[in-house]
Structure 1
C-alpha cells in the first residue's frame, strides 16, 4: 500500500504550534503556581447559557401574533443581553528563525453590514446559536443591548439588525438605537404627538394656500418579512423593518403645476430638517401627495 504524502500545515499554524505548550506564557511568565479562583466573578454573564432573553422573545412573539408593538420590542431590549460578533483581522506578520510565517499582530474588529438602502448596520444576536449559524468564525462578545447600541453609534452605523438571516430578524433604526444607547424610552415617530405638532406647525409657518392639510401615519417600511422558511410566501409583520418609518400625507389644492408642488415640498422639508426634535425622532420619511377631487 502506497502512503499518501502528508499535507504541509499553513505557515502561521505551524509557527503557532511550534511555540505552544512551553512552561511560560507569551510574556515569559511561568505557568506553574498560577490558578484562576473559581469564586471570582469576571463579568456580568458568568452564568449565561447563551439563550435568547426571555423578555425579548416574549415581546417578539406578541408582535408576531398582532398583540404587541414595535415599541414594546425595543423596550424589552433595555436590560437584555445580546452578542456582538467580533472577528480577527491580521495587522502584521513576521518570519521566524525556522522560516515560518506567523501572526505578529492581529486586531479584533466589529462586523458591520450594509442594509438594502445603503446604510451601515451593526448585526447583533440574541443567542450564541444564532451568531454561530450566521458567522461560524466570529467570536461572540456578550454585552447589554444598550452597550451594543453605543458600539453601533461609535461605528457610525445607523441601525442595529437583530438576528440577521434568521426567521425573525428585527431592525432597530437610528432614533430607537440612540434611545437605547441613552437608556431612555423610545416612542415611534408615527405615534409621537410632538412629531405631529411639528408637521402642523410647518403648514402654519409656511402659510401656503396650496396646502389643505397634513397628517402622519406609520410607513410601510416598518413592515418586516418573517417566517420565510416555515411559510414559503412569508408574512409581513408591522414592526422592525428598515424604513421608511413615517408616511406624511400632504393634501394639496387641485390644479397646481409641477413647480408649485416642488416649492411646497421644499419649504416643508426645510422646516422639518431645521426642527431638532423632528430630526432626532424621524429616521426616514415617505411623502404622499393627495389631490382631492374638485366639487361638482
Structure 2
C-alpha cells in the first residue's frame, strides 16, 4: 500500500513538537521543576483536592451550624486554583502556508455578576476547575494571593467553585480582608457599624431609631435547591429605619437620600459594607 501523506496542519504541528527546546528556545535538558530547591512552586506535593478546612466549614454552613465568617476564615489558610487561559496575541504564517499562533498571552478569567460587578472565579480543586472550564490552566495560590489578584483586576467579588454543587461568593469587604490577611467581621455582626449608622441618622429627628440586620441577599442555594443562610452575592446588610408618623413619600425619599449621603461620606462604613437595602417602619 502506498504511503499516505499527512494533512498539512498535522505535519506542521508535529514538526514543531517534541524538539529539544521550548517555545522560547530554552533547552529542556537539565530542567527539574520538582523538589524543595525550586523557588517557583510552593505546591509540589499538592494532590489537587479541596482544602479540608474549607470543606468542613462549608459543610457546616450548609447544615446551618456554621457561619459565613467561618468559611472566610478557613479560606485564609487554604490553597485555591486560579484559572488561566491562553489569549492569542499575534498570528503568523508557517512554512506550510498555515496560520499559526506566533504569540499568546496568559490571562485571568473573570466573570460578570448579575448586578454588573466584576468577579474573579477561583476553585478549591483541580476537578472543580476542569469541570467548569476544561481548557483553563489551574494555577495554585493561597487565597490571599487570589484576593490580591482580584483587587488588582478591579474585581468586587471572589466566586468560589462556580458550577459546583454549592458556590460561595466572597463579597468585597471579605475579599479585601483576605488580601490583607486580617480577620473579617461581617457587617451585620459589626457593632461599630451600628454606632456609625446611629451617628449618621442623628441629624434627622424624623428618624426615631435605626437597626442593622443580616441582609436577605446573603442567602443562597445549593445546585439541588436547598436554602443556605450564607454565601450569596448580597445585599449583605439591611438597615431598618423607624420614622416619625405623618411623612409622605417625598419626605421619606429625601430623608433616605440624606442618610445615604452621610453614610457614604464615612470611608470606614463604605469599606466595611459591601451593599445594603433599606426598610422603613413606622
Whether these two folds match at TM > 0.5 is yes
State TM-score, norm by structure 1.
0.88
Q: Contact 1:16 / 1:102 at 8 angstroms: preserved in 2?
A: no
Query: Which of 124, 127, 130 is equivalent to 2:128?
Result: 130
Q: 1:38 and 1:52, CA in 2 relative to 1: closer, same or farther beyond 3 A?
A: closer
**Residue in structure 1 matched with residue 258 of structure 2 by the alignment:** 267
Residues 127, 27 of structure 1: alpha-carbon distance in 2 compared, 3 angstrom cutoff: closer
Q: Does the 8 Å CA contact 2:188/2:236 hold for their aligned counterparts?
A: yes
2:101 maps to which residue?
103
- What secondary structure does 2:134 align onto? coil
How far 1:22 moved relative to its partner?
Answer: 3.1
Following superposition, the deviation at residue 81 of structure 1 comes to 0.2
Greater Rg, structure 1 or structure 2?
A: 1
Q: C-alpha separation between the residues in 2 aligned to 1:263 and 1:28?
A: 67
Deviation at 1:109, TM superposition (A): 0.5
Q: 2:267 aligns with which of 267, 271, 276?
A: 276
Indicate conservation of the 8 Å contact 1:15/1:102, yes or no: no
SS of 2:131's partner is helix
Gaps of at least 5 residues in structure 2 are: none
How far off its partner does 1:136 sit? 0.4
> What secondary structure, in the 3-state scheme, does the structure 1 residue paired with 2:107 have?
strand
1:36 aligns with 2:32: yes
Q: State the secondary structure of the residue aligned to 1:199.
A: helix
Q: CA deviation at 1:244?
A: 0.2
Q: Structure 2 length normalisation: TM-score?
A: 0.92
2:42 is aligned with 1:51: no
Aligned length: 277
CA contact (8 A) 1:53 1:80 kept: yes
Aligned residues of 2:34 and 2:44 also touching (Cα < 8 A)? no
Change (3 A) 1:25 1:66: closer
Q: Distance in 1 between matches of 2:53 and 2:160?
A: 14
Counterpart position of 2:277: 286
For residue 243 of structure 2, the aligned residue among 252, 259, 266 is 252
Contiguous gaps of at least 5 residues in structure 1? 229-233, 292-296
2:18 counterpart residue number? 21
Q: 1:51 to 1:255 in 2, by over 3 A?
A: same
Contact 1:149-1:177 within 8 A present in 2 as well: yes
**Residues 223, 236 of structure 1: 8 Å contact kept:** yes
Residues 28 and 184 of structure 1: is their aligned pair in 2 closer, same or farther, counting only changes over 3 Å?
closer
The change in CA–CA distance for 1:18 and 1:241 in structure 2 (over 3 A counts) is same
- Give the match's secondary structure for 1:142: strand
Q: State the Cα distance separating 1:263 from its structure 2 match.
A: 1.6
Query: Hey, what's the Cα distance between the residues in 1 that align with 2:234 and 2:117?
Result: 11
1:226 aligns with 2:211: no
TM-aligned CA deviation for residue 258 of structure 1 = 1.9
SS in 1 for 2:247: coil
Q: Which moved more, 1:247-256 or 1:20-29?
A: 20-29
Q: CA deviation at 1:116?
A: 1.4
Match of 1:231 in 2: none
Offset at residue 98 of structure 1 (A): 2.4
